[in-house]
Structure 1
Amino acid sequence: MTMVLFRRVPVSSPIHNLWAGTKMISAFLISFLLMFLPTWPVLGVMIVFLVLIGVLARLPLGTLPRLPWWFWALLLLGGAINVPVGTQAVVRYAQTVVFALIMVAASFVVAWTTPMSDIAPALAKLAAPLRKLRVPVDEWAVVVALTLRGLPLLMDEIRVLRAARKLRPKDNPLYLATENPLIDILTAAMAVSTRRAGELGEAITARGGTGELAAYPSSPGRSDAIALVIVVAVCAGAFALGMSLL
């Protein structure tokens, strides 16, 4: 399975130039709408809207994930399980699957058009009013920043562990003792992640703390206001369409 995750696609587009917080707010508005009105008209409008966003962002077709056959087989199996319950259950199941795929696609669009280093500062700025309630906004933002930074490293580590396991001789008693490759790789990945987390914590402590989240934090501009107005208008139109067809 080949896919681009947690990496910005290096192209220039109006979507890439938007502030990270604008994209996060847009994804939240879409999820909020679909959570309360996941009807087929609303789902269709959101699919078309995300396709247009992808075209405007100039995302190449090679960016799309190539999901394995067993993923689609599991989806069909879930639908088959709901068939004896009734047609309404199958429809609800299909709506839930489409809703989940739309949210995953929206998250991928944010990841493909935004540097991961901009997510945490934008999150801290959006949650700034919570500081008055003594909410540890900065600490949460640091955790998000470290998590986003560590996920690509963890994925690369898992690829290395998979390759190393394939190179082990199959007649080795150690190989025969661990018949489940998934458990082996996950166990090794957890051990490596724990070690790296400890080393990272010691390095942060030695430097006197996390410091600033970004050297040059970005802020929303006029284009971000226009983008939010468009997103709100699309969500409002989809809501009106969905309510009129109920």
Structure 2
Amino acid sequence: MLMRPVPGPSPIHNLWAGTKLVIVLAVSVLLTISPSWRAIGLSALLILVAAMLAHIPYTCIPSVPRWIWVVMVAGSVFTIVNGGAPHLEFGSVTVGFGGFLDFLRVTALGLVLLGLGAVASWTTNPADVAPAVAQLGRPLRWLRLPVDDWAVTIALAFRMFPMLTEEFRLLTAARRLQPPPPEKRSRRAEVVDVCTAAMVVSLRRAAEMGDAITARGGTGRISAGSDRPGLPDVLAVAVVIGLVGLTLAL
């Protein structure tokens, strides 16, 4: 479900795409400047409230492979070995949990950033991203920068990502259904075959997308849009500014 909007009207869906991009950028900068537990907690609360207002079901959350959990557990064990304050005493043994707390904070920070981007992608139509980027980057046109080209590139990336993900899934399923070859092939040859097929699928999708864009009037129509921010967008930005100010003040 990543990079695919969840259907249904909601206050978050009705926000301008540029407002969501500004909010994502502001929260990301806040967590970069002040990656404290307070900032992470307030940002996570903002994401949860936005997800509830957008009526996003829990089934949208992608499943996590088991090997990722194994890596996280192994990483947490190694951080406990590094020690650091605070220390806890277990009889004659003193264990420092400073490294483990830092590992938890970095993990929570990554999850918050992923959740922030996921909520924005679940509530934003990919077709609205390019006009929003073009509107936000309008001042850069005075420097003769290709803002429209950047907006089109971002929009096409958002549109192609779900399609390519589905194509790769079908390609992997078809690969597994093939009968075993009479002669056992090396792992490297199989990887080369899969990569070649993936490149062919990507080129075919790119050609189809190019023909569709040409038939609709070119790339100029992708970055053109009439949506503008309204009162809900002002309120949303004000809430985020208040969150940033509260986090920095505390």
> What is the TM-score when the length of structure 1 is the normalising length?
0.87
**Alpha-carbon deviation of 1:7?**
1.1
Partner of 2:94: none
Provide structure 1 residue ranges, at least 5 long, that are not aligned to the other structure.
242-246
Q: Within 2, Cα distance between the matches of 1:207 and 1:65?
A: 34
Tell me if structure 1 keeps the 8 A contact 2:79–2:103: yes
Partner of 2:119: 109
Shift in alpha-carbon separation, 1:116–1:205, aligned structure 2, 3 A: closer
- Matched position secondary structure for 2:4: coil
Q: 2:106 aligns with which of 96, 110, 114?
A: 96
- Matched position secondary structure for 2:187: coil
Partner of 2:163: 153
Shift in alpha-carbon separation, 1:231–1:203, aligned structure 2, 3 A: closer
- Matched position secondary structure for 2:197: helix
1:171-186 equivalences under 5 Å are: 171-173=181-183, 176-179=184-187, 184-186=193-195
Larger radius of gyration: 2
Q: Within 1, Cα distance between the matches of 2:42 and 2:101?
A: 18
Partner of 1:217: 226
Letter of the 1:117 counterpart: A
Provide structure 2 residue ranges, at least 5 long, that are not aligned to the other structure.
84-96
Aligned-residue Cα RMSD (Å) equals 2.3
- Matched position secondary structure for 1:84: helix
- Matched position secondary structure for 1:65: coil
Deviations for 1:14-64, whole angstroms, at most 9, x for unmatched residues? 011000111111111111111111111221111122111111111112122
Q: Report which structure shows greater RCO (CA 8 Å, sep ≥6).
A: 1
**Alpha-carbon deviation of 1:236?**
1.4
- Choose 80-89 or 232-241, whichever is displaced more: 80-89
Tell me if structure 2 keeps the 8 A contact 1:158–1:185: no
1:40-59 equivalences under 5 Å are: 40-59=37-56
Partner of 2:82: 85
Shift in alpha-carbon separation, 1:52–1:183, aligned structure 2, 3 A: farther
Tell me if structure 2 keeps the 8 A contact 1:124–1:141: yes
Partner of 1:244: none
* Percent of aligned pairs with the same amino acid: 40
> What is the TM-score when the length of structure 2 is the normalising length?
0.85
Tell me if structure 2 keeps the 8 A contact 1:178–1:184: no
